[in-house]
A and B are shown apart, each in its own frame.
Chain A
Amino acid sequence: LCPGCEFLFPQASIMFAQCTQKCASSVLLMVLLYCILSPPAQASKSLQDIRCKCICPPYRNISGHIYKKNVLQKDCNCLHVVEPMPVPGNDVEAYCLLCECKYEERSTTTIKVIIIIYLSVVGALLLYMAFLVLVDPLIRKPDAYTQPLHNEEENEDGRSLAAAPISSGARANTVLERVEGAQQRWKRQVQEQRKTVFDRHKMLS
């Protein structure tokens, strides 16, 4: 990532070198951050995204009107934007005093990127939930008998000997098995949380 970083931040660089799953998700968050911040930083001010909005109230027998024009900030005043001028020359100053002109800027790219990121995350979560609810039990059918027993035991043991980390060095070697293990642990965690919040109402009323 950054050549000087190892020199300056030894802790952080050692951490990144031994990247565990936790670290990978932090990196993902950084990437997300960069994605969100870079569009506004790099977006050039296309004329589509700037405007000057002048609101002119009803004046004598002229009704109220809103004028919008894509001009730069230096030209954002009544004389440049209000066209065609509804009052004759000597009244222009009085009319313009009533009008209020504001310069506004927006970034359509940021909006588009953010909405698309949001919808894709929601879609991904929904797909994952559908997978967990529908497809996963079918894949794991052979383990259905051992799973409930295993869970009960884990819960009881977990309370008195929760300290020792689960050392299963020889088994979890391949990436797939490690991902499986992590997913199982996460599912157990969510189940515990669900029991605490929804069933026992111990937390969060």
Chain B
Amino acid sequence: GFSSYNGGGMNGTSTMMDFLEEPLPGVGTYEDFNTIDWVREKSRDRDRHREITSKSKESTWALIHSVSDAFSGWLLMLLIGLLAGSLAGLIDISAHWMTDLKEGVCLAGFWFNHEHCCWKSNTTFTDRDKCPEWKSWSQLILGYGEGAFAYILNYFMYVIWALLFSLLAVLLVKGFAPYACGSGIPEIKTILSGFIIRGYLGKWTLIIKTITLVLAVSSGLSLGKEGPLVHVACCCGNILCHLFTKYRKNEAKRREVLSAAAAAGVSVAFGAPIGGVLFSLEEVSYYFPLKTLWRSFFAALVAAFTLRSINPFGNSRLVLFYVEFHMPWHLLELVPFILLGIFGGLWGAFFIRSNIAWCRRRKTTKLGKYPVLEVFAVTAITAVLAFPNEYTRMSTSELISELFNDCGILDSSKLCEYVNDFNSTKGDDLPDRAAGPGVYTAMWQLALALVMKVFITIFTFGMKVPSGLFIPSMAVGAIAGRMLGVAMEQLAFYHHDWAIFSGWCSPGADCITPGLYAMVGAAACLGGVTRMTVSLVVIMFELTGGLEYIVPLMAAAMTSKWVADAIGREGIYDAHIRLNGYPFLEAKEEFSHKTLAMDVMRPRRNDPPLTVITQDSMTVEDVETIINETTYSGYPVVVSRESQRLVGFVLRRDLIISVENARKKQDGIVSTSIIYFTDHSPPLPPSSPSMLKLRSILDLSPFTVTDQTPMEIVVDIFRKLGLRQCLVTHNGKLLGIITKKDVLKHIAQLANQDPDSILFN
């Protein structure tokens, strides 16, 4: 059967005797909140593959089995793409409908949102949103829609609906799947680096996250759905892995699939398959082999295609704020773009600092004891402040869409109310015009919206409902960018005789596009918060469909990253990982201190000596005592206590399972039975009880370093190979052990001190 790959001899050689000892169920699996052993998982997969390949020459059936085994990865990617795309379509359509439910209801069919309700009826040019089938709440209850009382009633209904949605969301999260709250990306990063969190990617978490994400987004809170969509896609990936033995039993292969699923998640969130793959590569994944690249791309494409065929927005676009203008930009405009980059970097650093401070307060003080009340309060404040300003009343995606949009003659929104001179209109290409009163109103309303969004997002991100960060950051950047763009436009119009404008911006020409400034601002703010580089630029230009804007986007993204990095080193996700204390070994930073392995290893000078197991002189009782008295996750096995020469390493979990199983099932095993790890049993008098052979659970090739190895090499080994622990030897004898936690603690300790001054040995 398939179970023989799982533990029969760590180094591959298996004798006749070993085959008779089938590994027990549970051996080779991991406990919750533990790190996996990448090396062991990868070697297991190679063993399995070797076995299938060697057997495939025997019969046609085996050949087909090997072909289907190779094909199973692609089939899994296809299924993940389909499921992720369908769930994203469900989320989009439901969120769109529920957001409009706060304002009114459609009489032609309650399942239509505002836009679809007015699809068929005749609307006027100036009042495109009004149609007889759509009734606002005041129209429904009172019969009329204008006047102070109707306004107050609409306000009241808006707040009530918002509170209802968010309360429902937090109750569902608390009652059914507490792991469904938050963004999910920091935890997925940790899982992909080798940590096990059971239930985090389970089916209840998937269902609850999908449902409550819609509720949270519809309640008008300042959060987005992109981060949670990555979590949803990874849940789909994890659940579908259970259909294929190859991925169900191997944690390393499963993480390859999860990387691809994360790419599919971002792909449906932004309609950007390439951006999704790059996001998975840059932000989420720890190890990203080249094979995963092609498969991630396939999964992302299938997901995007599925979403497109569901067509949630009715225009064959995957994102609400897809733009299609291709206006050229001038080199001198790089100056405002860099200014936007600086703004994005400053805002990013400010947001990370304040959000982490608030989350830390939630973790440590009494604020954390009232999650439901907290959600209620934040939603109430958000709804009460958001309704009066039309730019905060609309959903954030719609706001971004309106800000990205370039004004043409067909637009009648307040932001496009310029002073038109009809005799000089030439087709659709409008020149720069003076701002009308509508634009001035829109500007100060947008300024208020900016201030509100900057502050309310700090308290919203990290609450006990699914919350994402991308959309609020893009909104902040888009508002700032649009304001700067309009300011530049007016400056160019009124002072077209200045030296900087006269060269390229003659009166009557369309030189400044405020929509482009909004886009660059959005990219800058998003980059400042998440510190994404390539993936951000690719996502943004896949959103716009034009390669002309790569240079402004790159300039803004780079500036914002440099400014933000100068103030604080970590992006938001790494900051949350550090806040929660997850065992995540940062792969991007250099270890620059001069400590040695013996400074970090355990036991330290004053500690009791290393707990070891001898290879053939300990009894079952001795081993059980060791297990009960200590809590280490593994024990080195040595030849004897005097010589301390290393034989191998055995894991605690495997030891417990084997010993318990032997006591129950094997004959003659008592407390005084000897446990041996050697190939042949040690010579003992015939009157002694039968012995227990545990060689099959012993890892015969543990990694060792000498005590004089510099820690930078040790950290590199841990990162590159994905080790859990590493043994330290001195002159060939076992001296101590370094675990991943020790390395993390050491790095954290040194981060608070000056790198060059520590030379303790």
Contact = CB atoms under 8 A, between A and B. Distances in A.
B141 interface: no
A100 interface: yes
Nearest to A161: B656
Given A33-B83, A194-B178, A203 B94 contact: no
A29 B580 contact: no
B716 to A, nearest CB: 29
A33 B122 CA distance: 36
Contact of A112 (B111, B124, B175): B111
A55 interface: yes
Given A100-B410, A163-B653, A203 B580 contact: yes
Contacts of B464: 197-198, 204
Contacts of A117: 90
Contacts of A161: 656, 660
Interface in B53-96: 64-65, 68-69, 72, 75, 82-83, 86, 89-90, 93-94
Contacts, number: 204
B182 A63 contact: no
A97 interface: yes
B363 A205 contact: yes
Contacts of A25: 203, 239
Interface in A8-26: 8-12, 15, 22-23, 25-26
Contact of B362 (A15, A40, A64, A205): A205
B579 interface: yes
A9 B243 CA distance: 11
Interface in B74-126: 75, 82-83, 86, 89-90, 93-94, 97, 109, 111-112, 116, 119-120, 122-126
Contacts of A129: 171-172, 175-176
Contact-residue size bin, chain B (C-beta under 8 Å from the other chain): 35 or more
Interface stretch (A71-79, A103-111, A168-176): A103-111
A144 interface: no
A148 B94 CA distance: 40
B671 interface: no
Contacts of B309: 37, 40-41
B740 interface: no
A203 B187 contact: yes
B68 A106 contact: no
Interface string B661-672: 100000000000
B68 A11 contact: yes
Contacts of B462: 205
B627 interface: yes
A182 interface: no
B206 to A, nearest CB: 9
Nearest to A112: B111
B421 to A, nearest CB: 13
B182 A204 contact: yes
A108 B109 CA distance: 10
Interface in A183-205: 186, 189-190, 193-194, 196-198, 201-205
A102 B324 CA distance: 14
A112 to B, nearest CB: 5
A128 to B, nearest CB: 8
Nearest to B184: A204
Interface in A120-151: 121-122, 125-126, 129, 132-133
A33 B311 contact: no
Contact-residue size bin, chain A (C-beta under 8 Å from the other chain): 35 or more
A92 interface: no
B179 interface: yes
B315 A36 contact: no
Contacts of B311: 40, 105-107, 110
A196 B124 contact: no
**Which one of A37, A48, A186 has the greatest number of beta carbons of chain B within 10 Å?**
A37
A143 B637 CA distance: 46
Nearest to B96: A111
B175 A132 contact: yes
**Which one of A68, A108, A198 has the greatest number of beta carbons of chain B within 10 Å?**
A198
Interface in B312-326: 314-316
What is the interface of chain B mostly: helix, strand, loop, or mixed?
A: helix
A1 interface: no
B211 A163 contact: no
A57 interface: yes
Contact of B111 (A63, A115, A186): A115
Interface in B174-212: 174-179, 181-182, 187, 197, 199, 203-204, 207-208, 211
B188 to A, nearest CB: 12
Interface in B338-382: 359-360, 362-364, 368, 371
Contacts of A55: 125, 410
Interface in B683-711: none
A83 B666 CA distance: 91
Contacts of A108: 109, 112, 116
Given A98-B428, A105-B314, A165-B26, A29 B83 contact: yes
B123 A66 contact: yes
A162 interface: yes
Given A118-B94, A198-B174, A205 B26 contact: no
Nearest to A63: B125
Nearest to A197: B178
**Which one of B197, B203, B627 has the greatest number of beta carbons of chain A within 10 Å?**
B203
Interface string A55-71: 11110100111101010
Given A198-B464, A203-B187, A37 B82 contact: yes
A66 B125 contact: yes
A37 B171 CA distance: 30
B68 A8 contact: yes
Given A29-B239, A37-B309, A118-B94, A198 B178 contact: yes
Contacts of A162: 31-32, 653
A179 interface: no
30 contacts: A15-B243, A26-B239, A33-B83, A36-B310, A51-B119, A55-B125, A58-B409, A68-B122, A102-B315, A104-B315, A105-B311, A111-B112, A115-B94, A117-B90, A118-B90, A118-B211, A121-B207, A162-B32, A163-B653, A164-B661, A165-B25, A186-B204, A193-B178, A197-B178, A201-B364, A201-B368, A203-B187, A204-B179, A205-B359, A205-B362
- Sort A-B residue pairs by CB-CB distance and give the 10 closest, nearest first: A64-B125, A115-B111, A57-B409, A197-B178, A205-B359, A163-B657, A193-B178, A106-B314, A118-B94, A201-B363
Interface of A: 7-12, 15, 22-23, 25-26, 29, 32-33, 36-37, 40-41, 48, 51, 55-58, 60, 63-66, 68, 70, 97-98, 100, 102, 104-108, 110-112, 114-118, 121-122, 125-126, 129, 132-133, 160-165, 186, 189-190, 193-194, 196-198, 201-205
Given A162-B31, A162-B653, A202-B580, 13 more contacts: A11-B246, A26-B239, A33-B86, A41-B309, A57-B125, A64-B412, A65-B124, A111-B93, A133-B175, A160-B656, A190-B204, A196-B178, A198-B178
Interface of B: 25-26, 31-32, 64-65, 68-69, 72, 75, 82-83, 86, 89-90, 93-94, 97, 109, 111-112, 116, 119-120, 122-126, 128, 168, 171-172, 174-179, 181-182, 187, 197, 199, 203-204, 207-208, 211, 214, 236, 239-240, 242-246, 306, 309-311, 314-316, 359-360, 362-364, 368, 371, 409-410, 412, 422, 427-428, 462, 464, 576, 579-580, 627-628, 653, 656-657, 660-661
